[in-house]
Structure 1
Amino acid sequence: MDGIADYEFVRSLGTGNHGEFFLAKTPQRLPVQSQFVAVKVLSGEKSEDVFRRATRELKAFAAVRSPHLVALYDAGQQAGVVYYSMEFLSDGSLAEPANTLDTSRKLLAVASAARAAHALHEAGIVHNDIKPANILLGGDGSAKLSDLGLSRVLAPGMTMTGMGSLGSVEFTDPTLLHGDPPSRASDIFSIGGTLHRVMTGRGLFGDLPNSDPVLVLRRVLSSKPEVSADLDQNIAAIIRDCIAEDRAERPTSAAEVADRLEALAA
């Protein structure tokens, strides 16, 4: 794909939930200083109803003011294909960083995602898809939470409680799989799962099958998340608190998690 609307694509940035990201030249009409933006083109043609609901979610996301959230610029539909553009961060994501990250940078990046989640929560929004691939890294050392979980909008009838992709399962609160609604607590579980993956390279549920949803769900539902014994005890304590089986025993806010991570990084 060479572009969409007046966005001229430079290269693909990889795939995400329900679509592909592209690096694009910033159209002159956008009041953005940066030369480039990131554009997500959502997979497949979407109905007008889906476009309206997706746009409503994006507007809500964009209305939340936080330096820890990726800025959203624009959304549209061309020939039935939905797309939106947002701030481009040059150093990849926590899943695929452009450079080697030390412990402090990892802790601060997850803390930034927790700050962003708290801002969303205070506005009544649950992100619903916090994971390393959705924490983007700037060349200036910043980190921002991206890609609002639109799966429940784009595919409202899907199973697996509206999760965006098979790769999101290890970061998903098991209580969601049992039918509980998304909440602050479920995003906090995802922050804990993200921290564990970033610090150890392993998931809370071990190595999950990468092609069979039934086997993945069976593994997650039949086992308990396990924190690596090799972790620093202070980091391990934060993860254990975030993933407590009883939601009421988890930190009361994502901001509390961010405070603890920033204290460790310092």
Structure 2
Amino acid sequence: METLPYEPRHAGTGPAGRLVAGRYRLGALLGRGGMGSVWLADDELLGRPVALKRADEPGRTLDEARAAASVVHRGTVRILDLVRDGGEPWIVMEALSGRTLADVLREDGPLAVERVRRVGLSLLDALEAVHRAGIVHRDVKPGNVQLCAEGRVVLIDFGIACSWAYGPRPPAEGFEGSPAYVSPEQLRGAPPEPASDLFTLGATLYAAVEGRSPFDRGDLFATMLAVTEATPAPFRLAGPLRPVIEGLLAADPARRCTLGQAREALVAADVTAVRRPMPETCARRMIKA
């Protein structure tokens, strides 16, 4: 989702007032992405706000709901139910406060280095839980990172996630995901793997601290070429975060920073604490890349 997913911004857009599954009253349209649309809604049975997602490809809704529901972690969106209304499946999710990272960057500009460091650590924790559940998210990007008002950082939208618990998903006929936030191996058609999420995390952290995508060249072909060659735009603002971001953006997954190495490097980049050198393993991977 590229727009704010769980906070009213587009009141009056979409089927506002519709009652879904005899229980959920739709309100504002909160976000529309390549895989579906999300509305704010009132759970009239329990008297609470929720978010409802209707997928553009209903046949994939169960896979998405299962993938997201299998991860129990405060850093991932919580799935409450999967309901049908007139044969149409809807995913019921928790309603989140705040804005997406994409919205924050568009409206306020790049984040401070220390905040990006903390966001990175939160996303690493979330991805660790995702990968432990046998899932590759495949779509880590600013539009899928929710910065909640209470400080919680949440990874959302499992629309193209790959869950090996239910068998590998057959390859899509067309490209899935955002070209500026995809790993080189995914562009080459390789099977999804956890290292791919780490590359897209690196691209997301670059965008958070620099205020722009590292690979977006304004042209689809040029953007995909930049991703394939893993040649990010020049760093200007990253400061102590540059080594770990470069380590995550290694073109070869075998030379890319692992989740543990990235976490250690982000901890070492704490400018408020006694400075420690970046882990040698991560630095070596970055140099070899």
TM-score range, shorter chain: 0.7 to 0.9
Equivalent pairs: percent with the same residue? Answer: 29
Corresponding residue for 1:36?
49
- Whether the 8 Å CA contact 2:147–2:154 is kept in 1: the answer is yes
Instruction: Give the drift of 1:247.
Output: 0.8
The whole-number CA distance in structure 2 between the counterparts of 1:150 and 1:232 is 30
Q: Secondary structure at the match of 1:225?
A: coil
Corresponding residue for 2:262?
257
Cα 1:154–1:20 shift into 2, 3 Å = farther
The whole-number CA distance in structure 1 between the counterparts of 2:120 and 2:242 is 14
Corresponding residue for 2:89?
82
- The answer to whether the aligner puts 1:66 opposite 2:78 as a matched pair is no
Unmatched runs of 5 consecutive residues or more in structure 2: 1-14, 163-167, 273-289
Deviations 1:211-252 (A, max 9, x none): xx566545644x532252313342111111001112111122
Cα 1:77–1:261 shift into 2, 3 Å = farther
Deviations 1:11-46 (A, max 9, x none): 1112123111111113425xxxx83112111126x3
- Whether the 8 Å CA contact 2:75–2:155 is kept in 1: the answer is yes
- Whether the 8 Å CA contact 1:69–1:144 is kept in 2: the answer is yes
- The answer to whether the aligner puts 1:200 opposite 2:210 as a matched pair is yes
Deviations 1:181-206 (A, max 9, x none): 11111000000000111111222224
Report the number of matched residues: 246
Cα 1:124–1:151 shift into 2, 3 Å = closer
Q: Secondary structure at the match of 1:69?
A: coil
The whole-number CA distance in structure 1 between the counterparts of 2:68 and 2:149 is 24
**Bigger Cα Rg:** 2
Alignment of 1:13-32 (within 5 A): 13-28=30-45
CA RMSD after TM alignment: 2.8
The TM-score with structure 1 as length reference comes to 0.80
Higher RCO (CA 8 Å, separation ≥ 6 residues) = 1
- The answer to whether the aligner puts 1:157 opposite 2:172 as a matched pair is yes
Instruction: Give the drift of 1:69.
Output: 1.1
Deviations 1:55-109 (A, max 9, x none): 2442243122212111111112323433212122211110113985544333322
The whole-number CA distance in structure 2 between the counterparts of 1:40 and 1:189 is 27
The TM-score with structure 2 as length reference comes to 0.75
Q: Secondary structure at the match of 2:173?
A: coil
- Whether the 8 Å CA contact 1:227–1:240 is kept in 2: the answer is no
Unmatched runs of 5 consecutive residues or more in structure 1: none
Q: Which residue among 237, 242, 257 is the counterpart of 1:236?
A: 242
Task: Specify the code of the residue in structure 2 equivalent to 1:116.
Answer: A
